[in-house]
Chains A and B, each alone.
Chain A
């Protein structure tokens, strides 16, 4: 037992079981992204004698936020990576580099890919999203090697960047945006903005075409204002009613077909596919027919599996967007709810906030901000709060929001993972 460390048991047959110390409650957290890493850290802040285990296969997590700046040539990819040393060393979170494969809700066990198990008293899942491969005809995992999604940070992001670098001047970059709900509602629009920035500098005869399955999108007026200001005719957005919905992708020809039969050919094709909650949520049986996880709005405990809490992008938390900012807030509210539950206290009144920064060009940022509460058993925006940046604002206002975007990125990274330099 000593060999494997406190709380690790060797069960019959050599199966490794991670458990909490006797008489200490044990909370297992799946996923070391914005939601899960925050939950693990705040559980230890709120109740230092709790045993907290974080399961995350990657030793280094790369954020989706700011990958658009990387694609636009404004940020180094490595600056988007964070590891778990601070959570381990300063907060006492046990980090298990493994992939959670299955959940036994009744037996309160988690099965890991490498064969070991985790016994938990409470479980928090923050697995993010998975893609609904094939839901868009022609777009499966193999297609993503030719027409990347780059909607999870990593090899896909590099692939898209490489394709942009190799694209000829005068080519067309096409982004296909999905219906709601999906990860990061302003993400596709920020992406085309910063890719337009890159192309304007390096391949100024190129075009950027955004084919959208929606007629309205996040911060639409501000994006359009920004595109006109910075990129003129280069960026074109085609919404649903203008035949923007793509119904088929041909990854070999880099062509897409819209619902009324227009064929668009791309030089670089970026498809943001339809999405669902991460796999482990489905395995745990907590998703519904929408593919997302319905939760109790006060605690984010699953409506289907007691003791299992789900946070972040995987949840049905409308009107909160699927953002890293919100996932971080979920992590804190749910950590407090889990601690209250373990201590058999009343659940504290929850509050969440969100601020989505989008960078349209260097020194040109825009935001949407909101505060959320539970009212009559449902999530809602606090009346009178929130809103988007003013339209027609002066350049220094936009410059400030771009500066604050950078500051926000540094601060939320500190709040989620800490500030250790890579090592």
Chain B
């Protein structure tokens, strides 16, 4: 495995409020974990931010897309998922979602999606849509796959602001729909709390790891990460002003100019978006990765991969 880090990364997630004066460029990272504890003024502030943020939106308003018929399938309860299906009935239980059953850190919940598919030219998973019905906005991630991934499997990290079930829908190239869901319990743990800060100098720095050389037919693995706060637009700053939404909303992986995987990211993807997925290149060539921010700013990285 070849490894390249595009830049020295210096962002700091340290929490100390009075630690140093590097803080001027830092803003708090959105986190759905309330940090209660009046013993610590910094934590009190974080709590206020939070209440105004992700969790607050869920508490004060109606949770969009979450219907109240608990007995029904997960895909029936989430409005954008129903819209996406547009009347189709998915085959339930056909997607494997790997998520912790209990998490104490709702700000970064590891998630792996796996679907049994040959991923051949005439039989492959074309799209996967992920939802969290209990979040202020249910959409998590849309992923468009091609046979160049070799296997229908990818991992990321998501934000969950309370206990809920995470839903995945998938569409095959033949237009069939699959579904799968999984319950996650999110607990608030003072033991894990911190004040999040973010160094804006580091934003848009990327890390990528790709296989340098593969045997013909071998499936390799790509890991990518970009430094980014994934600011939800649901929080207030210290002065009570809303912090505007600022997220990476698109990621593309290409091999010799052909799409391997394309993703639309929503604000419930954790800070420093992480994507891990397979790659099965049809020969030697160049793998290119693009990230685009909602401001229109983008960044790309290319890597040579040899096969044979």
Interface residues of A (CB under 8 A from B): 179-181, 185-186, 214-221, 224-225, 228, 239-243, 259-262, 288-290, 316, 318-319, 321, 354, 356, 368, 370, 378-381, 383-384, 386-392
Contacts and interface: CB of A to CB of B under 8 A. Distances in A.
Contacts of A228: 16, 19-20
Given A221-B42, A228-B16, A381-B190, A259 B37 contact: no
A221 B195 contact: yes
Contacts of B223: 259-260
Contacts of B2: 261
A214 B101 CA distance: 17
B15 A224 contact: yes
Contacts of B13: 215-216, 239, 241-242
B187 A216 contact: no
A241 B271 contact: yes
Interface string B174-185: 000000000001
B248 to A, nearest CB: 13
9 contacts: A216-B194, A216-B196, A221-B14, A224-B15, A260-B225, A368-B190, A380-B188, A389-B39, A390-B39
Contacts of B195: 221
Given A243-B5, A387-B40, A392 B207 contact: no
B227 A180 contact: no
A381 B188 contact: yes
A388 B187 contact: no
A96 to B, nearest CB: 34
B181 to A, nearest CB: 16
Interface string B204-232: 00011100000000000001010100000
Contact of B100 (A260, A290, A378): A290
Contact of A221 (B3, B17, B187, B189): B17
Contacts of B102: 181, 290, 316, 318
Given A262-B3, A319-B191, A224 B14 contact: yes
B82 interface: no
Given A180-B105, A387-B43, A389-B39, A220 B15 contact: yes
Contacts of A216: 13, 105, 107, 192-194, 196
A387 B190 contact: yes
A321 B207 contact: no
Given A316-B102, A387-B39, A259 B108 contact: no
By secondary structure, the A interface counts as loop
A215 B108 contact: yes
Contacts of A379: 187
Given A216-B13, A241-B272, A261 B19 contact: no
A185 B100 CA distance: 17
B38 interface: yes
A378 B1 contact: no
A319 B39 contact: no
B41 interface: yes
B9 A242 contact: yes
Contacts of B100: 290
Interface of B: 1-5, 9, 11, 13-20, 36-43, 100-105, 107-108, 110, 185, 187-196, 207-209, 223, 225, 227, 271-272, 274
Contact of A261 (B108, B196, B209): B209
Nearest to A290: B101
B197 to A, nearest CB: 10
A418 B18 CA distance: 42
A243 B189 contact: no
A210 B19 CA distance: 19
A384 B271 CA distance: 28
Given A261-B1, A391-B16, 15 more contacts: A216-B105, A216-B192, A218-B191, A221-B194, A243-B9, A243-B207, A260-B208, A261-B209, A318-B187, A319-B191, A321-B189, A370-B191, A378-B185, A379-B187, A386-B37
Ranked nearest first, the 5 interchain pairs of A and B with the lowest CB-CB distance are: A261-B3, A387-B37, A221-B15, A319-B189, A241-B272
Interface majority SS (helix, strand, loop, mixed), chain B: loop
B188 to A, nearest CB: 6
Contact of A241 (B19, B190, B225): B225
A290 B185 CA distance: 13
Contacts of B43: 387-388
B18 A391 contact: yes
Contacts of B193: 216, 388
A389 B209 CA distance: 40
A181 B16 CA distance: 24
Contacts of A241: 11, 13, 225, 227, 271-272, 274
A215 B13 CA distance: 8
Given A180-B192, A261-B3, A319 B104 contact: yes
A369 to B, nearest CB: 8
Contacts of B194: 216-217, 220-221
Contact of A386 (B17, B36, B103, B196): B36
Contacts of B225: 241, 243, 260
A225 B5 contact: no
B209 A259 contact: yes
Nearest to B102: A318
A221 B191 CA distance: 12
Contacts of B274: 241
Contacts of B17: 221, 391-392
Contacts of B20: 228
A120 B183 CA distance: 36
A389 to B, nearest CB: 7
Contacts of B105: 180, 214, 216
Contacts of A185: 191-192
A259 to B, nearest CB: 6
Contacts of A224: 14-16, 19
B272 A180 contact: no
A386 B17 CA distance: 20
A213 to B, nearest CB: 10
Contacts of A368: 190-191
A288 B36 CA distance: 31
A388 B36 CA distance: 9
B185 A221 contact: no
B289 to A, nearest CB: 13
A85 B225 CA distance: 55
Nearest to A261: B3
A384 B193 CA distance: 15
- Choose among A214, A221, A378 the residue with the greatest number of B CB atoms under 10 Å from its CB: A221
Contacts of A388: 37, 39-40, 43, 190, 193
Given A216-B194, A243-B5, A221 B39 contact: no
